[in-house]
Structure 1
Amino acid sequence: MDRAPGPSVRLKLTLSYAGFLLLAGALLLAVVWVFLLRYVPDGVFVTPDAPGGRPGVFVPNRSDLQRAFTPRATAALGFLLVLGLVGGWFLAGRVLAPLTRITDATRLAATGSLSHRVALPGRGDEFRELADAFDGMLARLEAHVAGQQRFAANASHELRTPLAITQTLLDVAREDPDRDPRELVDRLHDVNARAIELTEALLLLSRADHRPSTRARVDLSLVAEEATETLLPFAERRGVTLHTSGDTTATSGSPALLLQLATNLVHNAIVHNLPDGGTVWVTTSARPGTAVLTVENTGEEITPQVVATLAEPFQRGTGRTRTDHAGVGLGLAIVQSIAGAHDGSLTLTARPAGGLRVTVQLPAAPPRTGP
Structure 2
Amino acid sequence: MTRAPGMSVRLKLTLSYAAFLMVASVLLLAAVWLYLLRYVPARASQTIGGFVPGRDDLIRAFGPVVTVVLLFLLVVGLVGGWFLAGRMLVPLDRITEATRRAAEGSLSYRIRLEGRNDEFRELADSFDAMLARLEAHVAEQQRFAANASHELRTPLAITQTMLEVARNDPGHTDDALVERLTAVNARAIDLTEALLLLSRADQRSFTREVVDLSLLAEEAAETLLPMAERRGVTIETSGDIALTLGSRALLLQLTTNLLHNAIVHNLAERGTARVVTSLESGSVALVVENTGEQVPAQLLSTLTEPFQRGAERIRGDHGGVGLGLAIVKSIVNAHDGTLTVIGRPEGGMLVTVQLPAVPSGDAR
TM-score by length of 2: 0.97
- Report the Cα distance in structure 2 between the residues aligned to 1:211 and 1:198, rounded to whole angstroms: 20
Deviation at 1:370, TM superposition (A): 9.6
Give the match's secondary structure for 1:209.
helix
Deviation at 1:302, TM superposition (A): 1.2
Whether contact under 8 Å (1:306, 1:318) holds in the other structure is no
| Distance of aligned partners of 1:200 and 1:369 in 2 relative to their CA distance in 1, 3 Å threshold | closer
Whether contact under 8 Å (1:119, 1:131) holds in the other structure is yes
Percent identity over the alignment is 69
Q: 1:152 aligns with which of 145, 153, 158?
A: 145
Deviation at 1:263, TM superposition (A): 0.9
Is 2:39 aligned against 1:39?
yes
What's 1:4 paired with? 4
Deviation at 1:44, TM superposition (A): 2.2
What's 1:79 paired with? 72
- Report the Cα distance in structure 2 between the residues aligned to 1:356 and 1:70, rounded to whole angstroms: 88
Is 2:210 aligned against 1:217?
yes
Whether contact under 8 Å (1:300, 1:319) holds in the other structure is no
| Amino acid across the alignment from 1:229 | E
Give the match's secondary structure for 1:286.
strand
What's 2:58 paired with? 65
- Report the Cα distance in structure 2 between the residues aligned to 1:94 and 1:370, rounded to whole angstroms: 55
CA offsets, 1:23-79, max 9 Å, x none? 10000010000110111000222222xxxxxxx400101000000001100111111
Mapping of residues 162-181 of structure 1, within 5 Å: 162-181=155-174
What's 1:52 paired with? none
Give the match's secondary structure for 1:362.
strand
- Report the Cα distance in structure 1 between the residues aligned to 2:206 and 2:18, rounded to whole angstroms: 52
- Report the Cα distance in structure 1 between the residues aligned to 2:170 and 2:106, rounded to whole angstroms: 55
What's 1:98 paired with? 91
Mapping of residues 109-124 of structure 1, within 5 Å: 109-124=102-117
- Report the Cα distance in structure 1 between the residues aligned to 2:135 and 2:256, rounded to whole angstroms: 31
Mapping of residues 275-354 of structure 1, within 5 Å: 275-354=268-347
| Amino acid across the alignment from 2:191 | L
Is 2:182 aligned against 1:189?
yes
| Distance of aligned partners of 1:226 and 1:358 in 2 relative to their CA distance in 1, 3 Å threshold | same
- Report the Cα distance in structure 1 between the residues aligned to 2:361 and 2:69, rounded to whole angstroms: 71
| Distance of aligned partners of 1:291 and 1:369 in 2 relative to their CA distance in 1, 3 Å threshold | closer
| Distance of aligned partners of 1:257 and 1:315 in 2 relative to their CA distance in 1, 3 Å threshold | same
What's 1:53 paired with? none
- Report the Cα distance in structure 1 between the residues aligned to 2:315 and 2:351, rounded to whole angstroms: 19
| Amino acid across the alignment from 1:10 | R
Whether contact under 8 Å (2:243, 2:363) holds in the other structure is no
| Amino acid across the alignment from 2:284 | A
- Report the Cα distance in structure 2 between the residues aligned to 1:208 and 1:369, rounded to whole angstroms: 23
CA offsets, 1:213-253, max 9 Å, x none? 53222111111111111222222222221110001111111
CA offsets, 1:95-124, max 9 Å, x none? 111100000111000010000001111111
Deviation at 1:318, TM superposition (A): 2.0
Query: Gaps spanning 5+ residues in structure 1: where?
Result: 49-55
Choose 1 or 2 for highest CA Rg: 1
Give the match's secondary structure for 2:236.
strand
Whether contact under 8 Å (1:251, 1:363) holds in the other structure is yes
Whether contact under 8 Å (2:107, 2:131) holds in the other structure is yes
| Amino acid across the alignment from 2:299 | V
Deviation at 1:369, TM superposition (A): 6.0
| Distance of aligned partners of 1:89 and 1:30 in 2 relative to their CA distance in 1, 3 Å threshold | same
Is 2:120 aligned against 1:127?
yes
Give the match's secondary structure for 1:221.
helix
| Amino acid across the alignment from 1:127 | F
- Report the Cα distance in structure 2 between the residues aligned to 1:291 and 1:370, rounded to whole angstroms: 13
| Distance of aligned partners of 1:199 and 1:174 in 2 relative to their CA distance in 1, 3 Å threshold | same
| Distance of aligned partners of 1:279 and 1:169 in 2 relative to their CA distance in 1, 3 Å threshold | same
- Report the Cα distance in structure 2 between the residues aligned to 1:57 and 1:47, rounded to whole angstroms: 5
- Report the Cα distance in structure 2 between the residues aligned to 1:67 and 1:214, rounded to whole angstroms: 81
What's 2:227 paired with? 234
- Report the Cα distance in structure 1 between the residues aligned to 2:124 and 2:207, rounded to whole angstroms: 34
TM-score by length of 1: 0.95
Deviation at 1:169, TM superposition (A): 0.2
| Amino acid across the alignment from 1:362 | L
| Amino acid across the alignment from 1:282 | V
- Report the Cα distance in structure 2 between the residues aligned to 1:40 and 1:237, rounded to whole angstroms: 112
Give the match's secondary structure for 1:349.
strand
Q: Matched residue pairs, number?
A: 364
Give the match's secondary structure for 2:311.
coil
Give the match's secondary structure for 2:36.
helix
